[in-house]
Structure 1
Amino acid sequence: MHPDRSIVFLLPVYQPSRHLPELMTELRQAAPGCHFVIVDDGSTGPAAAEVLRQAENLGGTVLRHPGNQGKGVALKTGFGYAAEQHPGLDVVCADADGQHSVADIVRVADRVRDTGHTVLGVRRFAENVPLRSKVGNTVTQVLFKAATGRGVQDTQTGLRAYPSALLGWLCTVPGERFEYEMNVLLEAARAGHRIEQVVITTTYLDDNSSSHFSALSDSARIYWPLLRYAAASLLTPARATR
């Protein structure tokens, strides 16, 4: 990444581990002019407090929620802060648990700066991928294409880049938890926003044990807006013929 091209790295966290300061250190080396916005979604305990202290010592701005409100709320908190404090800068959202490599994060950052479009870092669901992740992604790919007519290889990727012009819009998209990221894609399709896709390395640490995703409740939250969008798309032509 060109050192003169400043960008905001938005890292939503809950009970963060040592991977957070390690990631920040490596990203700072790759993009010296970057800004870090860490949104702590209600972490507790001395271990998390120490990690967040290290993040602040590394120059990160830590925004704290008093309790766990969900990833969607954390992202919108970060988008609002970035729009106000770093106007005109694009934002790259990444997971801070070691699942996204610095090289991939930088590639996604470069693409948003080069194109001015939303960019997804999409994983290849081939070998060494937990079966539940592979099946879940296949199902959502099919449903998303049927509902929107758009092909998105990885609807649940946490590595995404957004142009500065969309930050205000992102704060208006509904959703509080993991369903928010699906809603962003659905609303982008509805609004006609272009989406770029960059293939990234698929990394699952300890079978994705660090994820706070609930297979039952969060899956239901994700599929409900997708099915609702699909139903609305099917009903729209019928209303138009009346």
Structure 2
Amino acid sequence: MFRIDTPDSAYHDVWIVIPAFNEASVIADVVSDVRAVFPNVVCVDDGSPDDTGERALRAGAHVVRHPVNLGQGAAIQTGVEYARSRPGAAVFATFDADGQHRVKDVIRMIDRLSVDDLDVVVGTRFGGQVPTRMPPLRRVLFPLIAKLSPASRKLGLTDAHNGLRVFGRTVADGLNLTMNGMSHASEFISLIVENGWRVAEEPVEIIYTDYSMSKGQPLVNGVNIVFDGLMRRRMRR
């Protein structure tokens, strides 16, 4: 575990959590872009065999390392636990390491969190113009998967797979992701329902590059995520 001091900022109480696995080629740029606005960034190096952690550290992030790869859900949980232990931490955001997300969307989501008196703001790529580079099959399947998820359907959410989320201290303190892999996406939505957290969607733009699409999860994982979410509901009854 590493810690560094960061400069003061208007967003001194905001922490950006970036789970990362084998992102050495892009992580420094991602961290630098985020830290141009948000000084507090924690990157969870999820057992990467490359030098993801070292590059994130040099770019100015706090770095926590998993000795082995545990999956994105575990990395997010570790990052949130680290961030919420920091003095003054009040607002938290999850942000992908592959360059798909935009800092300007995080700023808008933070404003929405406070103005609308919400607990969570989740990004949706279907609230505005759909990115032209988004694979056509994903345009069809992602909204369908959201409709198949009972929790997403109950909340009226359109994009259960979006990794861009902003939330306050109540959610950070209550977050307990037990699904280590990509199924954490459904679990996060289920936790919103179970805890009665106030939630809204905010349209965001996803930047689809050859690199980010090469890192993307197979579409069959979307079905698995919904199935895992259903199984979790049955086990908690």
Q: Which bracket does the TM-score occupy, shorter chain normalised? A: 0.7 to 0.9
| 5+ residue gaps, structure 1 | 237-242
- 2:11 aligned with 1:5: yes
Measure how far apart 1:98 and its partner are: 1.1
Check whether the contact 1:145–1:152 (CA below 8 A) recurs between aligned residues: no
The residue that corresponds to 2:141 in the other structure is: 136
Check whether the contact 1:97–1:210 (CA below 8 A) recurs between aligned residues: no
Aligned mates of 1:186, 1:146 — CA distance in 2: 5
Q: 1:155 aligns with which of 149, 154, 160?
A: 160
The residue that corresponds to 2:219 in the other structure is: 215
Q: 2:31 aligns with which of 10, 18, 24?
A: 24
Matches within 5 A, 1:87-106: 87-106=88-107
Measure how far apart 1:120 and its partner are: 0.8
Deviations 1:48-71 (A, max 9, x none): x1x532321232111111111100
Measure how far apart 1:81 and its partner are: 0.8
Measure how far apart 1:113 and its partner are: 4.3
Q: TM-score scaled by structure 1?
A: 0.81
The AA in structure 1 aligned to 2:28 is: P
The residue that corresponds to 1:202 in the other structure is: 206
Call closer, same or farther: CA 1:145–1:220 in 2, change over 3 Å: closer
Call closer, same or farther: CA 1:94–1:146 in 2, change over 3 Å: closer
The AA in structure 2 aligned to 1:13 is: A
Aligned mates of 1:208, 1:19 — CA distance in 2: 10
Aligned mates of 1:229, 1:148 — CA distance in 2: 16
The AA in structure 1 aligned to 2:222 is: S
Aligned mates of 2:23, 2:152 — CA distance in 1: 35
Q: TM-score scaled by structure 2?
A: 0.82
| 5+ residue gaps, structure 2 | 1-7
Aligned mates of 2:151, 2:17 — CA distance in 1: 31
Q: 1:44 aligns with which of 32, 49, 52?
A: 49
Q: Which has the larger radius of gyration?
A: 1
3-state DSSP of counterpart to 1:97: coil
Aligned mates of 2:193, 2:210 — CA distance in 1: 34
